[in-house]
Amino acid sequence: MFQRKFIYLLQKIFDDSPMIVFCCKKIHHDDFDLIYYNENFKQTLMYDDEFFKKTKLQDLLHEKEKSSVFEKLDQSSIDGKIQFVTSFKTKGDEYIDLIIDAIFLNKQKKNTVLFIANQIENLQNIEGNKLINYFLNYLDEVHYIENLSFKKFIHLSENIEDITGFAKEELDYQKFREQIYSEDKERILYDYSRESFNDDLKNNLTYRFIKKDGSIIWLNDIFTVIAGKDGSALYTIGSLRDVTNLKEKEEQILNLQQQLAQKQKMEALGRFSSEIAHDFNNILSGIKSNGELLYKYVENLDKFINSIKKLNIDEEYLSEITKIKSELSDSLEDLAEIITKALSLTSNLLTFSRIKSNTVERLDLNEVILKLKLIIKNILKKGVNIDVQILGSPLYIEISRTNIEQILLNLLINSIDAINENGNITIKTEKISKEEDRRLQISQIEKRFYAKITIKDDGYGIPEELKSRIFEPFFTTKQNKGTGLGLSIVYSLVQQADGYIDFESSIGNGTAFFIYFPIVE
């Protein structure tokens, strides 16, 4: 009953259509029953109804092209539609090339396929076919046909306006290419201009497109190139799909994977650093103890020198002993300085590896920043200005005061170092929800409201190839200055406070760090 009603509907829509239209029911991978065909299909192939009653789709295809067609139809069952060109056998045992648009109508079983076809020489007549246009306009994708010789669309679905904001009349061949996003344009126009395409199945491009309102979307462009007898490209037949949401989900997944990998790497480095720091501390403790013992020997040597002076010892001998004592004292002072630096380094390593080590307090972030502003002003280089933009109301977070001060000081000192001569640093606080901020949406933190700190400078910026490494322990771009632990400690302390840190940077435009902490009401 359903099939009879369905065929009746197809008859009403397509019987008088100038397009070649037929419908098949898929029995198997390479077995399709012909359940409907229109008059134009009959006239094109020159067979009568009796012939079609006992004929299947595979009987009409060129023997060499059958496997390729069924591969394309298998692909179509996944995507819902596909375009391709193939040869059909006519009554006179000749073959004609048809441009086929195959659409799976039953999305559940995927066993009913509508074929809309045209001969290549009749391609330009497609825009005059109102019924086909009406049918295609109600599909999700935008369908198009381009005449490459005259550089114009000869068919473009009305629903192009739903995706791009441009009405069909506003978007000609040239205008469409102008709207491709600048960073993608060179690549896409190169691909479009290639002399040969993959015409075995389909060509697939994804790029950004500027809508009429100025916003940017991602388009997936799937098309087939129709070539002439001399092999030159004559037409493209394709479909456009808005895949912005899909690209955003891919970005979210990639970001979460990167966050997880970074977290696992930092945890492993933290454990390793902790073990190294403890072992190193033990060695330093032994060196320090022996150094302190040597100090006592030097003090005893002083007493010895003072006592032998009374014995009228040769002055040259006494001078030599005094010189040895002086050199020993200098060496011990150098040793003490080296031990102090080494202990500071191990302290930083332990800070990086330690979890929840300091007392957590409920602090107003704005108040912490205002107090730090006074310290920062004392270490600013000449020509560097700092602009503090504090939210009018308190922003309460739970964190150790020592930790938040260390986070802010490390980032601010990095910003100062990034500015060679004259420049500006901005510190800004704001209250923000997860729904309002793209970075929060792709992070793993779950609270609703956050205190956001932005620390931005207009320094040199971070090269693209170094961006993935800036939070690694011991990685530094400051050559002989710094240990390379500053940002890794910042990352660790932010994680300990259940926060999130991200950044953006480009050469010549400076760097901005974004730190988020859950708000405590």
Q: Is the CB of residue 196 less than 8 Å from the CB of residue 226? A: no
Alpha-helix residue ranges (DSSP H) falling in 113-243: 130-137, 160-164, 173-178, 182-193
Alpha-helix residue ranges (DSSP H) falling in 179-243: 182-193
Q: How many CA atoms lie less than 13 Å away from 471 in the CB half-sphere?
A: 25
SS3 206: strand
Domain end residue (candidates: 193, 212, 244): 244
Predicted pLDDT of residue 210: 92
Say how far apart CA 305 and CA 324 lie, in whole Å: 11
Predicted pLDDT of residue 484: 61
Predicted pLDDT of residue 452: 94
Q: Give the pair of three-digit tokens for residue 289.
A: 């103890």
Same domain, 394 and 369: yes
**What spatial distance separates the first Cα and last Cα of the chain, rounded to whole Å?**
64
Residue 477, φ and ψ in degrees, nearest 5: -110, 10
List the CATH number of the domain containing 146. 3.30.450.20
Predicted pLDDT of residue 124: 46
Burial class (CB in 10 A: 0-12, 13-18, 19+), 463: exposed
Q: Give the pair of three-digit tokens for residue 243.
A: 């895949």
Residue 79 CA: distances (Å) to CA of 73, 268, 358 = 10, 43, 55
Range of the domain at 319: 248-353
Q: Which helix (H) or strand (E) holds 123?
A: none
Same domain, 276 and 229: no
Q: Is the CB of residue 48 less than 8 Å from the CB of residue 24? A: no
Domain end residue (candidates: 206, 222, 244): 244
| Distance from the Cα of residue 418 to its chain's centroid | 26
Q: Is the CB of residue 263 less than 8 Å from the CB of residue 257? A: no
Residue 280 CA: distances (Å) to CA of 80, 284, 336, 347, 475 = 64, 6, 16, 11, 20
Q: Is the CB of residue 7 less than 8 Å from the CB of residue 33? A: no
Same domain, 223 and 254: no
Q: Give the pair of three-digit tokens for residue 353.
A: 């590896």
Tokens 């920043």 belong to: 369
Burial class (CB in 10 A: 0-12, 13-18, 19+), 457: buried
Say how far apart CA 139 and CA 120 lie, in whole Å: 23
Same domain, 53 and 68: yes
Same domain, 501 and 398: yes
Same domain, 239 and 311: no
Residue 516 CA: distances (Å) to CA of 404, 455, 473, 504 = 12, 12, 21, 15
Q: Give the pair of three-digit tokens for residue 486.
A: 């500053």
Same domain, 299 and 287: yes
- Burial of 305-329, coded b for 16+ CB within 10 Å and e otherwise, reads eeeeeeeeeeeeeeeeeeeebeeeb
The DSSP bridge partners found for residue 204 are 222
Q: Amino acid identity, residue 436?
A: E
* Residues lower than pLDDT 70 in the chain: 1-2, 77-79, 107-108, 120-140, 149, 190-202, 228-232, 252-279, 281-282, 310-313, 344-345, 347-358, 441-447, 474-475, 477-485
Predicted pLDDT of residue 126: 47
pLDDT tens for 99-144 read: 888 888 876 677 889 999 887 655 545 444 544 555 555 556 788 8
Same domain, 378 and 451: yes
Same domain, 227 and 269: no
Same domain, 17 and 40: yes
List the CATH number of the domain containing 371. 3.30.565.10
Domain end residue (candidates: 289, 319, 353): 353
Same domain, 377 and 492: yes
Burial class (CB in 10 A: 0-12, 13-18, 19+), 395: buried
pLDDT tens for 356-389 read: 456 788 999 999 998 888 777 777 778 888 899 9
Please tell me what DSSP assigns to residue 180. B
Predicted pLDDT of residue 454: 95
SS3 31: strand
Say how far apart CA 54 and CA 359 lie, in whole Å: 85
Domain count, the chain: 3
Predicted pLDDT of residue 23: 93
The DSSP bridge partners found for residue 117 are 20, 100
Same domain, 298 and 267: yes
Say how far apart CA 98 and CA 123 lie, in whole Å: 10
- DSSP per-residue letters across 389-411: E--SS--EEEE-HHHHHHHHHHH
